[in-house]
Amino acid sequence: MERRAFRLPGFPMLLVAIVQPIATVAWLRYLDAQQEHLASTLVVIFGSLVLLALWTGFLVLSPNESRVVLFFGWYAGTVRRPGFHWTVPFSRKRKISLRVRNFESAVLKVADADGNPVQIGAVVVWRVFDTAKAAFAVSDHVQYVAVQAEAAVRHLATLHPYESHESGTPSLRDAAVVSAELTDELRDRVALAGIEVLESRITHLAYAPEIAQAMLARQQANAIVAARFKIVEGAVGMVELALGRLREREIVELDEERKAQMVANLLVVLCGDRAAQPVVNAGTLY
């Protein structure tokens, strides 16, 4: 788990790093004057080590950046605060960005829940929330997000059909439902790497080219059937209303045979694709 690393303000430590060589030189001059050659050698060695330790501990952080501090293979902690700092000397400081990132998957060809090949792509918005997991739980947390995002998109496409055949059943075209499911699955997959998924969206969804024409014809047929259903439903209502009005106002008395003929004529007029051609009955010649 992530923890804070030991750190001190950088500018006071920079002042110490500048003053330390001056103090070491002054001390060497004093020892040389006293003919203390062994002590002078020890001061040189000690001063060099201290100076090296001071200069290897400095680091500079920009906003939304962090440094994972490793001291000879031991995780010493993470520095998140922007600015100029001094931390554990002789350590390796691995940079990990805390900025929000976008990953857009390639357009993948997957079979949906009905077995139809579809093309699907998604975009994932994510960021690092635990730098220790991102640095040590996986080899490359950026590549890990990319692989898991594509795996989640493929798995999601197999759970839903491209178009819903029953009311209440979600399909891949239900953007809100699919995006919520994709986000939840991605959060579970990348939590191991210390990654937080903020949002995910389907950016591309289409039938594969080999079945696109057939699916388009089926969609057109469904649309025609639905339109015809509405037309017939409205026509029946209009015929019922017309017969009711004629009966209420007693305009004409129709027997069952004439009612059937009138209903047939009205349905032909109301449900036909073309405008009706009226026929005027002028009576018989004899």
- In three state form, how does the secondary structure of 172-239 look? CCCHHHHHHHHHHHHHHHHHHHCEEEEEEEEEEEEECHHHHHHHHHHHHHHHHHHHHHHHHHHHHHHH
Identify whether the C-beta of residue 252 lies closer than 8 Å to the C-beta of residue 246: yes
Q: Assess whether pLDDT exceeds 80 at residue 260.
A: no
Q: Assess whether pLDDT exceeds 80 at residue 40.
A: no
The per-residue pLDDT for 102 is: 92
194: left (phi over 0), alpha (psi -120 to 50) or beta: left
The per-residue pLDDT for 99 is: 93
Give the separation between CA 134 and CA 204, rounded to whole angstroms: 29
194-229 confidence digits (pLDDT tens): 999 999 998 888 877 765 565 666 666 666 666 666
Mean pLDDT of 155-173: 79
- Six-digit token string for 60: 């500079």
Mean pLDDT of 39-65: 82
The per-residue pLDDT for 240 is: 72
Other beta carbons less than 10 A from residue 170's beta carbon: 15
83-135 confidence digits (pLDDT tens): 999 998 988 999 999 999 999 988 888 888 888 888 889 999 999 999 999 99
The per-residue pLDDT for 143 is: 93
The per-residue pLDDT for 60 is: 92
pLDDT-based confidence at 279, cuts 50/70/90? low
Identify whether the C-beta of residue 121 lies closer than 8 Å to the C-beta of residue 108: yes
Which of 219, 211, 113 minimizes the C-alpha distance to 161? Answer: 113
Among 66-80, 117-131, 201-215, 264-278, which stretch is predicted with the lowest mean pLDDT? 264-278
